[in-house]
A = this chain, B = another copy of it.
Amino acid sequence: MILSKSCEYGIRAAVYIAYKSSKGLKAGITEISDEIGSPVHFTGKILQQLSRKKVISAIKGPNGGYFIENSANVYLVDIVRAIDGNELFSACVMGLKNCSDLRPCPMHEQIKPVRTQLLIEFSKKSVQELVQDYEQNKYFLK
């Protein structure tokens, strides 16, 4: 798996939250985990992470819940970085300490463009785009 399970949940949750936000509504944890097929409390933790990192917004209390102001400005890379960190885009594929552009491992030059491409794709895909496909029933969130 390229992304952790947490990160997968995070992306799917963000899409659903943004979808609700586009309708002027907030989304609650139960509703979200229900919709994306994830464990409720675990999802809560992930949403906390995203909230702290300002990827999504949260409001407590009645009529509270999660929302995303401007999903066009939230890119998948933001979610990936918030949850899985930057290792996916940077760590040596052979796990070597000293691997770098200057002293590359034998897979370095081959993997670098792949990683770059991965970063590019996650960087240019906004949550809003995912919402649009979701609204058109092009896929389910679970």
A136 to chain B, nearest CB (A): 10
Query: Which of A8, A88, A95, A107 gathers most chain B CB within 10 Å?
Result: A95
Among B104, B118, B133, which residue has its beta carbon within 8 angstroms of that of A114? B118
Q: Nearest residue in B to A2 (C-beta to C-beta)? A: B93
Question: Bound complex: CA of A12 vs CA of B96, how far in Å?
Answer: 9
- Complex Cα distance, B105 from A98, in Å, reads 37
Within 8 A of B (CB), among A1-21: 1-3, 5, 8-9, 11-12
State whether B117 touches A114 (Cβ < 8 A): yes
* Chain B, Cβ-Cβ closest to A131: B106
Residue of B nearest to A132 (CB): B106
Q: How far is the CB of A32 from chain B (nearest CB, A)?
A: 15
Instruction: Count the copies.
Output: 2
Measured between alpha carbons, how far is A98 from B8 in the docked complex, in Å? 14
Chain A residues with CB under 8 Å of chain B are: 1-3, 5, 8-9, 11-12, 76, 87-88, 91, 93-99, 103-107, 110-111, 113-115, 117-118, 121, 125, 129-130, 133-134, 138-142
Q: Which residues of B contact A140 (CB under 8 A)?
A: 96, 98
- CB nearest to A138 among chain B residues: B106
Known contacts A2-B88, A103-B139; 4 further A-B pairs (Cβ under 8 A): A3-B95, A105-B139, A107-B121, A113-B117
